Structures are given as C-alpha cells and as structure tokens.
Amino acid sequence: MNEPTIKRGSTEADWVNYAKRLLDQYWITPGSMALPMDQDGVFDEAMEDLVKSFQEREGLSRDGKIGRDTWAALTGKANAAAHTDYRPTAEDQAADRMARNPHDPSMTDDSRYRVVDGVKVLDMSEEEIVVTPGAVVDWNEVETDMITRARQNVQQQVPWFHQAVGEFAASSTASIGQWAAQMRQFEEDARVELPWSMIVDGLDSALGLAFAGPGGMAGWVYDKLKSAVLTDLVDELATKSMVPGLEQGLLAGVAALKEKVDDSFEQVIHDFEAEGAQHITEQMREYTQLSNDSDWIDEMVAWFGFPRKSVDEIKSPIREWLDHQLGEMLRTAGDQVLNA
C-alpha cells in the first residue's frame, strides 16, 4: 500500500487518522495518562509539531510532513512499540467517518448509537464497560463525576479571576496617581490616546496562563472569559482615555475594565450550566475505556478544558500581567506626552 504524503491541512482524513494512531503508539507508553489525539481527520498545527518532534528524534528532515521516509520510520517504530502491523481497513475508515459525523443519520448504526428524532446520539444509558478483570465501571457515574468536578472548578476559579481584577483596580490607583503627578507639568499641552490595547492584550495572555490545561492549552473557561470580557473592550476603554485629565482618564479606564468584569464573569458560570455538561459528554464520545480512579478523572476533566487550579494559579498571573502592562502603558503614554 502506497502511503500518500500528508501535511498540515491535508484532506486525506483516513490517512491522517492512521498517522495519529501511529503517533499515539509511538509517544504514549502503556499505563500513561496521556490522551490520544482526536480521530477527527484534521492535520493541524499540534499534529505538525508532534511530527517534527518525531522526525528530530529519528534523525529525519524536520519539515512536519509525513512522506515516504517519515511513514517508514513511523510505522516501524510505532508498530514495534505496539507489537502490531496495523493498517487502516475499510472498517477503520467507516469508523473514522462515524467519528467525524456522529450526528449524521445516514451513517451505519452500531451498538454505541441510537437515533432520536432523526439524530444519532451516543447511547451509554445501559452500558457498563469492563476495564480490568473483575472491575466494572459505569459510564454514567464517571461522566457525572467529571461534570461535578468541572462545575466545582468553574464556580470556584472564575470568581478568583474577578477578585484579581478587583485587586488590580484598587492597587492601580496609587501608581496612576504617582505617574500623573510626574506628568502634570506637561498636561496643559498634551493630548494623547492612552494605549489600552496593552492592558487588553495582557489580560488575554493572563487568562491563557491562568486557565491553561495540560500541555499549556487554554480551554473552555478561557474561551468563555475571553468572549465575555475582552470582546470590544479596547473600544470601551479608549473612549475614556484622552488627556488632558490624565489621572481621571486612567482611573476611568480601569474602572471601566472592572465594571466589564463585574458585569460578565458570572455569565461564564451560567454558561457552564447551559453548555458545560454537553461539552463534556461530546468529548467523552471517543473514550470507551474508563476508570473511576480519582486522578484519572481529574486528568480527563483538565483535558476537556476544566483544570483544577489553586487560588494563586488563577490570581497571580492576572495580577502580574495587569500590573506589568499598566506600567508599560504608562511608560508608553509618558513618552507620547513628553514628545507632544
């Protein structure tokens, strides 16, 4: 069988999924808590990075493409690790199409799916999955535990983000006042637009750090907070940042930031009640081998976008990034004032 050359953006979904399985066999050791890549037929940047790491490790050209030499090395190494010489079969390709189109009623049904109102849904209502001899794990119990833990993490951590922004707003008063006092002698002639985008970009980076899951990937909570808090925020702050009136403009901008967070952070908690459980359910479609081990469940919850975090892991990056970016913004604005 001649393998095609595939790379980021390739549309040969069956071969992409075959490559993903080989990469999983190569990188994931028995007993590892690492999760396999989604069998979605997508050759994305993350997969390209993994291919490059494989090529570097095997002494191949590090181009991120899976061509003849990379296929040969990958199949040899991965199959040796898995003690199998697996190639995608017609059944594999059908399973891949089912995984990519789980709600398509035209797909052939199997024991994992049932049709409800013309839509295929995963049916685990009566299913128990044996993971080790003598051990039986109930799908619904594991999924319910995951949803409960994710809910607890969201309800606990999002208010910490809110608190961190409130603390920044309070502490920024002193630094703004000191800076404005230094600039006051120039205020009569200065008309400068303060670069609030620096604060917004810093908050975006901070959210990514605070709510990052395994591998540094920002997940569900980050996406929701970014949408709720950062959307149009630069424009909302910029309308309050013209000088003269340096100190008043800065304080008004910080107050507007706090007000935006005050008004929107609880929406993320409400969004979890509306969408979070379904999100976890959809993510769980690919995992038929379960464990009721607490650490395993925490690992899965984190991979699905709801990592467990301490108060310092949430608040520290928020405070540090906002404090740093405020200082940079003041320096940048100061240069503009002095050169006006």
**What is the tens place of the pLDDT at every residue in 90-108?**
545 555 554 554 444 344 4
Mean pLDDT over each residue of the chain, to the nearest integer: 78
Note whether 165 and 295 are same-domain residues.
Answer: yes
User: Rounded to whole angstroms, how far apart are CA atoms 15 and 42?
Assistant: 10
| Domain region containing 39 | 1-88
Mean pLDDT to the nearest integer, 150-177: 93
Mean pLDDT to the nearest integer, 13-19: 88
Note whether 223 and 283 are same-domain residues.
Answer: yes
Weakest-pLDDT range from 49-53, 118-122, 332-336: 118-122
Residue 83 lies in a domain: yes
Residue 124 lies in a domain: no
Give pLDDT, residue 237: 82
Residue 166 lies in a domain: yes
Residue 177 lies in a domain: yes
The CATH number for 56's domain is: 1.10.101.10
Helices (H), the chain: 13-27, 45-57, 68-82, 90-100, 139-183, 197-210, 220-225, 233-238, 246-271, 277-283, 294-303, 311-339
Residue 106 lies in a domain: no
pLDDT of 166 higher than 90: yes
13-27 and 68-82 helices cross at what angle (nearest 10)? 50
The pTM is what? 0.59
Residue 112 lies in a domain: no
Note whether 166 and 47 are same-domain residues.
Answer: no
Mean pLDDT to the nearest integer, 308-335: 90
The residue among 261 and 142 whose pLDDT is bigger is: 261
Total domain count for the chain?
2
Residue 113 lies in a domain: no
Give pLDDT, residue 247: 82
For the chain, percent of residues with pLDDT exceeding 90: 30
**What is the tens place of the pLDDT at every residue in 57-76?**
889 999 999 999 999 898 88
pLDDT of 1 higher than 80: no
